[in-house]
Amino acid sequence: MEINRIGWIRTDFPGKFGIPRQSGLVEDLAGTVVFETKYRNADAFRGLEEFSHIWLIWEFSESARDKWQPMVRPPRLGGNIRKGVFATRSPFRPNPIGLSCVRLERIEMHPEYGPVLHVRGADLMDGTPILDIKPYVPHADSRPEAEGGFASRHREDRLEVELPEELEKKVPEHKREALRGVLANDPRPAYQNDPERVYGFGFAGLEVRFTVREGLLTVCEVVPQG
Amino acid sequence: MEINRIGWIRTDFPGKFGIPRQSGLVEDLAGTVVFETKYRNADAFRGLEEFSHIWLIWEFSESARDKWQPMVRPPRLGGNIRKGVFATRSPFRPNPIGLSCVRLERIEMHPEYGPVLHVRGADLMDGTPILDIKPYVPHADSRPEAEGGFASRHREDRLEVELPEELEKKVPEHKREALRGVLANDPRPAYQNDPERVYGFGFAGLEVRFTVREGLLTVCEVVPQG
C-alpha cells in the first residue's frame, strides 16, 4: 500500500537527541503542523477545534532503519534488557509508523500555508512527515485503568536540573519551561551514564550541553547552533 | 512510502454493517490477530503480555474509498451534519489508516500460526490488514481530561434490546453478550431511521435481522449465513 505524507511538523528539535521518549511528557513543548498544498482546505478541519487532543500518525523518517528487528533494547530500561519490538514504540519495526497524542492548542488560518495546527507536547523531530491526523476520542482512546508494563515502571525517572541564570538567559523566554522539561526527562542518548561526559543536543536553534552526575543534570553551555 | 501488512485480524463481522463505531464500546467482542509468516517469532512479542491494552494500526481495506473528501457526515450526528475529515475517524481520508485501542487478553503460541493475539473490543471487519501493533502506554496515551467534541456528546445513544429467547438460543452462548452489546450500540447503517424497515448484518456466521422503533431494537430473525 502506498502512503503519502499529508504534511509535516515543525518542532524545536533539529535532531533526534533530546526528544522526549513519549508524547505529552513535556507539555510546554510547542510545535506546528503544516499541510501539503492539496490539504490546505479549512473544510477538512471543520470541527477539529472541538477536540482538546489529537493523534498524529507519522513516519519514522530519520531513524537508521535498515530492517525490522524482532527484539530491541528500550532506552528506559537502561539499554541492556531486550524486549520484543511490538512491545515497544521503537522505530525498528516492520512499518515505520509513529503514533503520538498531542494537545491541540489552536488552528490558525495562515495566509500562505492555510490551516496550521498549533500543538503541545509533541515528541517529534523537526520536519517529520505527518501521515494522518485523527481526533482524540476520550471514550474510546482513554483507558486510565490500562496496565503499562515495563514502560510505566520507569515513568518517574526524572533528573534534577541545574540551569545557571546566565545560560538560561540565552534561551528565548517562552521556551525556557519546555527546555527544563526536556532536561528533567533525561535527554542523554540511550545506554550512556558517564559522569565525566559532556552531552549535547539541539533545541530551538541552540546547542545545549550538559553533564549528569547522580541524578543531577547541570547545563554547562548554551551556544547558537552552527 | 510503501507499507505492508504484518498480519490480519479475525473477527465475527463479515461485513462492515454492525461493527461498533469505535473500539472498546463492546468489550465482549472477541478477535484474534494472526501474523504473516516472517513475523511469527515469539521474540518480537516478548514483554507485550505486560500490557493490558494495545493499539492496532490497520488499513481501511474494504471501504469504497475512491478519494479523500474534505468533509464527511459522521453517522453519530445523524448523517446530515458535515465535519472535516480530519475531525473524524471516517475512512474517506488521504491515507487509509485506522487506529483502534483493544484489550489484550492473552498471547497464544499456536502450533501452526505462531504468536496469535487474543483481543477484546475490536471495531474491525474480519480479515482487516494489520499494519502495526504498539503497546498502550497509559501515561502517554490516556488523557481522561480530553475534550471529545461532537464525538463525545453522542456516546450515550444506546438502544434498548429485545432479543427473544428462542432466537438468542441460536447464538453460541459465549457470543451472546457481545451480540447484545453490538445491538445496543445501534448497528443500523448511517442516515436511516425507518421503523418499518428490517435491518440485518452478519455476526459470527449468522445473519441477525431486527427493527428499531422509538429507541427499542427488536430482533426478529437469526439465521445461518448463506
Q: Are B102 and B31 in contact (CB under 8 A)?
A: yes
Task: Please report the number of interchain residue pairs, chain A to chain B, with beta-carbon separation below 8 angstroms.
Answer: 242
Cell numbers 528565548 correspond to what residue? A172
Handedness of CA A163, A121, B147, A52 (dihedral sign): positive
Fold annotation for A7-141: Elongation Factor Tu (Ef-tu); domain 3 (2.40.30)
* A33: its cell numbers: 503542523
Could you report the predicted ipTM of this complex, rounded to two decimals?
0.92
**Contacts with B23 from chain A: Cβ below 8 Å:** 140
Chain A CA closest to residue B41: A70
**What number of residues does chain B have?**
226
Per-residue pLDDT of chain B (226 residues; tens, 9 = 90+): 899 999 999 999 998 888 888 888 888 899 999 999 999 999 999 999 999 999 999 999 876 566 889 999 887 777 788 999 999 999 999 999 999 999 999 999 999 999 999 999 998 999 999 999 999 999 899 999 999 887 776 556 789 999 999 999 999 999 999 999 999 988 887 667 788 999 999 999 999 999 999 999 999 999 998 7
Burial of A26 (0-12, 13-18, 19+ CB in 10 A): buried
* A145: its cell numbers: 485503568
Task: Express each pLDDT in A133-156 by its tens digit.
Answer: 999 999 899 999 999 887 776 556
Q: Are A68 and A85 in contact (CB under 8 A)?
A: yes
* Contact criterion met (CB < 8 Å) for A87 and B51: yes
* B187: its cell numbers: 448497528
Q: Are A1 and B2 in contact (CB under 8 A)?
A: yes
Q: Are B117 and B97 in contact (CB under 8 A)?
A: no
* Contact criterion met (CB < 8 Å) for B88 and A152: no
Domain B157-224, architecture per CATH: 2-Layer Sandwich (3.30)
Report the C-alpha gap between A134 and A108 in whole angstroms: 17
Cβ atoms < 10 Å from Cβ of B34: 18
The ranges assigned to domains in chain B are 7-141, 157-224
B155 vs chain A: nearest CA distance in angstroms? 8
**Contacts with B77 from chain A: Cβ below 8 Å:** none
Task: Say which DSSP state A22 is in.
Answer: S
Pairing of strands B160-162, B216-224: parallel
Task: Express each pLDDT in A37-95 by its tens digit.
Answer: 999 999 999 999 999 999 999 999 876 566 889 999 887 777 788 999 999 999 999 99
Helix (H) or strand (E) segment spanning residue B138: helix B138-141
